[in-house]
Amino acid sequence: MDWGANVIVRSLSPRVPSEREQVDSFLARHGLSYEDDIDYSIGIFSGETMVATGSLSGKVVKGVVVDEGHRGEDLTAKVLTYLKIRAHNQGIDSLFIYTLPKNREHFTALGYAEIASTEEVLLLEDTSRNFSLFLSGLSRLNPDGLPAASLVMNCNPFTLGHRYLVERAAGENPLVLLVVVQEDRSVFPFSVRMKLIEEGTRDLENVRVIPGGDYIISNATFPSYFIKDKGKVFDTHTRLDLTIFGEHIAPAAGIRRRYVGQEPFCPVTRRYNQSMHEILPEYGLEVVEIERRESDNTAISASEVRRLIASGKTEETVKIVPSSTYSYLTSAEAEDIRRKLQGGSA
């Protein structure tokens, strides 16, 4: 491709220290910090001087900056084009970008479509098709418009505690949409988590198990949930994730209530639950928080299951997981996962 003679475009690998340093220091000069989950960057150079950069972390565009002296030369478009082509070659379908709401017009002019925004952050995707397909898929799950309840769960892995929550929701609502976090950042891969949830809820006729895709607690809607970032960034992303849920997902699927388990341990999840109470009622949604079920006076949790496996006591999980999960955990198929947990990384 011919980009004109004035500038050179180079790809910069995060794994090459000198190249990473170039991006890092350019971002630092513009008040941004380099994020560790970046997996690809490009730099645009005038001579040997970097004048613009942009990076990708999976399907999320990060750190797009053009030097003050070179604004108005359409360099943002150049950066985004390169990132788009790189993503396309990696089999990535669409790109997401986070930016400040004041940049809305800048990115919509580049063909990006707004997914949702809060006062502090705006999320766009470079196509509006995926989100509308996702929403129409949700609508088809509830063709009669029943007042549905929803749970969003990671289930790493599915326990009797999760089962108890789902049973409660299934008993109190005509239809339950159980959304499984799709992002693969957990010990148990998405396909396994999904399978164990499906098997463990098969007898509940009004429960539909669906993948959360890119729009419910994903790396796109909620990066800091996975980084376990603290503080303000986390709150910003929480609000964005719940705004998408309240504004788009709930109306598409006829959801009226969101069920959530009380969180005694993880401060991140507890914070998220608290925000649900604050934000979802703004969209007319009721948040139902269910106390944890206990077994021998300890709350049942997936982290307890992982701890037992890690200390070589997989058999003891029998008390806190459904039989479908138990037979998976003790199967030859789960050998790799057991070994991974026993190797110390949870």
Partner 1 sequence: MKITKKGIAGTLESSDVLVTVSPPVEPGVTIELESIVKKQFGNRIIAVVNEVLEGLGIKDVHVSLQDKGALDCTVRARLEAAAYRAAGISQLQWRR
CB-side neighbour CA atoms (13 Å) of 172: 15
**How far apart are alpha carbons 83 and 101 in whole angstroms?**
22
| 5 part of the interface to partner 1, by CB under 8 A | no
- Does 99 interact with partner 1 (rule: CB under 8 A)? no
User: Which residues, 6 or more positions from 175, have their beta carbon under 8 angstroms from its beta carbon?
Assistant: 142, 146, 147, 148, 149, 206, 208, 254
Q: Give the chain's radius of gyration (CA, Å).
A: 22
Residues 6+ apart with CB under 8 A from 55: 23, 35, 38, 40, 41, 42, 61, 62, 63, 64, 83
> With CB under 8 A as the contact rule, which of the stretches 27-35, 127-135, 169-177, 225-233 interacts with partner 1?
127-135
Judged by CB under 8 A, which of 13, 128, 275, 295 binds partner 1? 128
**Binding test (CB under 8 A) with partner 1, winner from 13, 46, 81, 330:** 81
How many of the other CB atoms lie within 10 Å of CB of 307?
14
Q: CB under 8 A: which stretch of 79-87, 213-221, 248-256, 336-344 binds partner 1? A: 79-87
Q: Which stretch binds partner 1 (CB under 8 A): 123-131, 237-245, 266-274, 300-308?
A: 123-131
88 binds partner 1 (CB under 8 A): yes
Task: Among 25, 90, 108, 139, indicate the residue that binds partner 1 (CB under 8 A).
Answer: 108
- Binds partner 1 by CB under 8 A, chosen from 43, 66, 67, 84: 84
Stretch of 76-84, 212-220, 263-271, 299-307 lying at the interface with partner 1 (CB under 8 A): 76-84
Q: Is 126 a residue that touches partner 1 (CB under 8 A)?
A: yes
User: C-beta of 72: minimal distance to partner 1 in Å?
Assistant: 11
Distance of CA 125 to the CA centre of its chain: 14
Q: Does 110 bind partner 1 (CB under 8 A)?
A: yes
Which stretch, 102-110, 183-191, 196-204, 306-314, contacts partner 1 (CB under 8 A)? Answer: 102-110
Identity of the residue, 109 or 346, whose beta carbon is nearer to partner 1 in the bound complex: 109
Peptide bond into 101 cis (omega under 30): no
**Minimum separation from the CB atom of position 44 to partner 1 (A):** 12
Choosing from 109, 277, 312, 313, the residue that interacts with partner 1 (CB under 8 A) is 109
Q: Contacts with partner 1 in 137-196 (CB under 8 A)?
A: none
Q: Which stretch binds partner 1 (CB under 8 A): 58-66, 121-129, 190-198, 206-214?
A: 121-129
Decide: is 16 part of the binding site for partner 1 (CB under 8 A): no
CA atoms within 13 A on the CB side of 26: 26
Pairing state between β 207-211 and 255-261: unpaired
Exposed, middle or buried, 271 (CB in 10 Å: 0-12/13-18/19+)? middle
Q: For the sheet containing 286-290, what is the strand order?
A: 207-211, 175-180, 148-153, 255-261, 286-290
d(CA 239, CA 113): 19
One-letter amino acid of 223: P
- Our CB check for partner 1 shows the closer of 93 and 315 to be 93
Q: Is 156 exposed, middle or buried (0-12, 13-18, 19+ CB in 10 A)?
A: buried
Q: Does 127 bind partner 1 (CB under 8 A)?
A: yes
Q: Determine, following the binding rule CB under 8 A, whether residue 59 of this chain makes contact with partner 1.
A: no
Interface with partner 1 includes 77 (CB under 8 A)? yes
Q: Residue 46: enclosing H or E segment and its boundaries? A: strand 40-46
Interacting residues with partner 1 (CB under 8 A): 1, 74, 77-78, 80-81, 84-85, 88, 93, 108-113, 126-129, 133
